[in-house]
Amino acid sequence: MGIKLSCSYGKMTSTSVAVGTLSKPDYIAVRVLCLTEMTSLTDPLDNGQAPADPEKVFVFLEKHGLSSTTRDHPPMFTVTDSQALRPSSVSGGYTKNFFLRNKKKTMWLVTCDENQSVDLRHLGTALGAGRLSFASPERLMRFLGITTGAVSPLALINDVTHKVHFAIDRSLLRHDQLHVHPLVNTLTTTLKTTGLLEFAITTGHPPVYLKFNQDKSVTVDETNNKMLDEKLKVTQR
């Protein structure tokens, strides 16, 4: 008995197609192909290229020896959605991600623990950015090639001109692995924490490590920056 598979991307929805009985890996593969086709219909990035699709992310990870697994699920738009849909048997850290800009239009992608409270005023001070605000959905698509709900450090693959700075919550480093979206919010990719950091460095986005303090202030952990970056350089050799 066939099933109907319907894929959506942003405001666009593809035509449902009838497919036969699929195994879990094949089901994910079909969804990726569907999303890939739809991604090609979006506007080009700021650099003139078409946005990457999940398959390109997976190929990039494999090429650089960064092992990962990916699972399929209904669309997730909030941390609450993620908590409701995640399997209880899977360990690791879950994130929330902010795409931010300042008055000079300098942009940051900030990845934090899902439970971390973030004060943008203190965050802007720590980053030397001044006043920060959320970037528009149009800017998100233009520079990272993704829509709201799919914000993820894996989207740095689209920023080939390195116009977006990357910062990560230091507390996430306590986890052996992290769970992030591979450009769409209907898939979640799990990879080693060190693997995610290697991904960021390889794409030209060395992380700034942030410490969120109890008084809501934020500081940049320079010691962690140097120590982890050196460790990753050794790993990459």
Q: What domains can be seen in the chain, in order of their start residue? A: 51-236 (3.90.960.10)
Q: How far apart are CA 118 and CA 125, in angstroms?
A: 12
Element (H, E) at 17: strand 17-19
pLDDT at 226: 56
Q: For the residues of 72-117, what is the DSSP string, one character each?
A: E-S---SHHHHHHHS-TT--SEEEEEEEEE-TT--EEEEEEETT--
For the whole model, what pTM was predicted? 0.77
Pair 183, 154: CB distance under 8 Å: yes
- Going by the DSSP 8-state scheme, the letter that residue 131 receives in this structure is S
Give Cα 97 to chain centroid, integer Å. Answer: 7
Pairing outcome for strands 177-180 and 187-192: antiparallel
User: What sign for the dihedral angle of Cα 62, 97, 47, 137?
Assistant: positive
Question: Tokens for 91?
Answer: 């360990």
Question: Tokens for 84?
Answer: 């409701």
Tell me the residue type at 197. L
Q: How far apart are CA 20 and CA 180, in angstroms?
A: 29
Give pLDDT tens digits along the chain (237 positions).
333 344 433 333 333 333 334 444 444 444 444 444 444 435 789 888 899 999 999 999 999 999 999 999 888 777 777 777 677 777 899 999 999 999 999 999 999 999 999 999 999 999 999 999 999 999 999 999 999 999 999 999 999 999 999 999 999 999 999 999 999 999 999 999 999 999 999 999 999 999 999 999 999 998 765 555 555 554 444
pLDDT at 225: 59
pLDDT at 80: 79
**How many other C-beta atoms lie within 10 A of the C-beta of residue 193?**
18
Pair 146, 152: CB distance under 8 Å: yes
**How many other C-beta atoms lie within 10 A of the C-beta of residue 58?**
18
pLDDT at 222: 82
